[in-house]
Structure 1
Amino acid sequence: MLKYRTLDTPAGAFTVVVSDTGGVRAAGFTDDVGELIPLIHPDLRDPAEPADDVGPVAGHVRSYFDGDRAALDAVVVEQFSGGEFMRHAWLVMREIKPGAPVTYSEFARLSGRPAAIRAAAAACARNPVALFTPCHRVLRTDGSLGGYRWGLPVKRLLLDHEQAAA
């Protein structure tokens, strides 16, 4: 059984969906869990119920927004994709440091496939655990924001927050 909780953050409502082991399976800047459940791979998808206790995840999110840029590193995520590159890219994405965003081309290079810029962009677009796997830290080659499932104002706020805490 999955459980979820919506937290108030400076970027707006943020909902996390966690497994019974506490791993985050979906997260995003929404108060509608129905937007998040379809992002979870079918092999990991279960019914989700609201819960006050989602383990230490809520505390890590609060610490992050209070200025502890490393707080999210301790959060366990449970992502799954059919493709080896996607899984690897998500692991690499978690290594992108706050305050040091990279471009899609740099991200593709870091992921071991420098020519796979579209695949790197797809890894960002399909990321089901926003914030914890920080796709907001990947920018267009010209340094502009590009897209973000939860809106460019949220992406800008997160990047500015991380830069200010640097």
Structure 2
Amino acid sequence: MLRHSTLDTPVGPLTVVVSRTGAVRATGFTTDVPDLMSLVHPMLLEPVEPGDPGLVGEAVRAYLAGDLTAIDAVQVEQHTAGAFMAHAWRVMRGIKPGAPVTYTGFAELSGRPLAVRAAAAACARNPVALFTPCHRVLRTDGTLGGYRWGLNVKEWLLAHESAV
């Protein structure tokens, strides 16, 4: 059984879905749990009920309070059929706060410098926003690009990380 909880943030609600082991399976700036669960790979789907997010909630609160590395230790469970996307998500977790990269730079970090579209797809399909920080990937010209949860959220996250 998965647990979901919604935390208040300066840019609106953040819902986290956590497994029995405390690993994050889905996260988004929304209260719509079914929509959030639509991002999770079918192999990782289980029934979801409200519950305490435990250490994940503590990590989010610490991040919001300025400890930007608090979310780094949180375990995530992401699955995809594509080897590149799984690898790209692992690489994305290594992008440091305050040091965003472009889609081109992200493709290079992922070992496939010409796979800029695949790198962008890894960002778009990321089910665990914040913990796998797709918000730290920008367009090649340095502009924000897209963000599933709204450009205002992406802009706030980047400003929060650069201000600390």
Normalising TM by the smaller chain, what interval? over 0.9
* AA in 2 matched with 1:76: Q
Name 1:32's counterpart in structure 2.
32
TM-score for the superposition, normalised by structure 1: 0.98
Structure 1: any 5+ residue segments left out of the alignment? none
TM-score for the superposition, normalised by structure 2: 0.99
d(CA) in 2 for partners of 1:144, 1:159: 12
Aligned residues: 164
Name 2:78's counterpart in structure 1.
79
d(CA) in 2 for partners of 1:56, 1:81: 25
Trace 1:13-162 onto structure 2 (pairs within 5 A).
Answer: 13-51=13-51, 53-162=52-161
Shift of residue 47 of structure 1?
Answer: 1.1
* AA in 1 matched with 2:40: I
Shift of residue 55 of structure 1?
Answer: 1.9
Deviations 1:80-135, CA, capped at 9 Å, x for gaps: 00011000000000000000000000000000000000000000000000000000
Deviation >6 Å, runs of 4+: none
Shift of residue 32 of structure 1?
Answer: 1.3
Match of 1:73, SS state, is: coil
Shift of residue 34 of structure 1?
Answer: 1.4
Match of 1:79, SS state, is: coil
Match of 1:16, SS state, is: strand
d(CA) in 1 for partners of 2:153, 2:53: 23
Aligned-pair identity (%)? 69
Match of 1:4, SS state, is: strand
Match of 2:38, SS state, is: helix
* AA in 2 matched with 1:2: L
d(CA) in 1 for partners of 2:12, 2:59: 16
